[in-house]
Structure 1
Amino acid sequence: MKKESGDVESIVSTNGVKLHLFEPSGRKIWTVVGKENEHWLDSDLGYCSCEDYYYNAMEKGRQCYHLQAVQTAIKQDKIETIIFQDSEFDSFISALIQDML
């Protein structure tokens, strides 16, 4: 658990938590830049695209450190917000999926 705490603090301190806000709809996509990859997540649903998500959430009933980083960044007001237009949503999602493949 100590390692995860260090990972969370590292992500937050390097502004690795990003909120992609689409206007005018207000749609939100969260991403977290981890040690090696960028992962997208839904903090309301408790979902992360990282490989450890299933192990941590499904097997152990815990959150991965990416989800923990979002919660910590919100509390510390250390979120990088990037504004997009709604017309960019489809291309953003396509690029996000391509990055995951």
Structure 2
Amino acid sequence: MNKDFDRLESIVSEKRVKIHTFEPSQRKIWTVVGKGEEYWIDPENNFCSCPGFYFGVINGKKTCYHLESAKLAQSQNQTEEIIFSDEEFSDFVSGLISDL
């Protein structure tokens, strides 16, 4: 196996792909825990908040390993779902933004 696939497998098996679901609205925010950082991702729109994604897009690359690991986790049904109340949504989003 190649090194990149091993990294993806590690992220998936360690349940570092997370779906934060807010109830009762069912709003969802995806994150992936990378090398000590947690990045916000939007798999449907092919977006990740990591610097590698940003600089990769500038250089013509279409994705990063965070998005690739999310796709793999989805295909293997290996995402970690965390339930929050809708009242926690604003604080959660504020925390994500402050980490950028």
Identity of aligned residues (%): 47
Amino acid of the residue matched to residue 79 of structure 2? I
**Alpha-carbon deviations, 1:42-70, whole Å to 9, x = none?**
11110000111023334233210000111
Structure 1 unmatched ranges of 5 or more: none
Residue 40 (structure 2) aligns with? 40
- Once the two structures are TM-superposed, the CA of residue 17 in structure 1 deviates from its matched residue by 0.4
| 4-13 or 17-26, larger mean C-alpha shift | 4-13
Residue 69 (structure 2) aligns with? 69
Aligned-partner Cα distance in 1 for 2:3–2:50: 17
Amino acid of the residue matched to residue 70 of structure 1? A
Residue 93 (structure 2) aligns with? 93
Aligned-partner Cα distance in 2 for 1:40–1:16: 12
Structure 2 unmatched ranges of 5 or more: none
Aligned-partner Cα distance in 1 for 2:57–2:17: 20
| 52-61 or 84-93, larger mean C-alpha shift | 52-61
Aligned-partner Cα distance in 2 for 1:96–1:54: 17
Measured on the aligned residues, the alpha-carbon RMSD in Å equals: 1.3
Counting matched residue pairs gives 99
TM-score w.r.t. length of structure 1: 0.89
Contact 1:57 1:64 in 2 (8 A): no
Runs (4 or more) in structure 1 with deviation over 3 Å come to none
Secondary structure at the aligned position of 1:44 is classed as helix
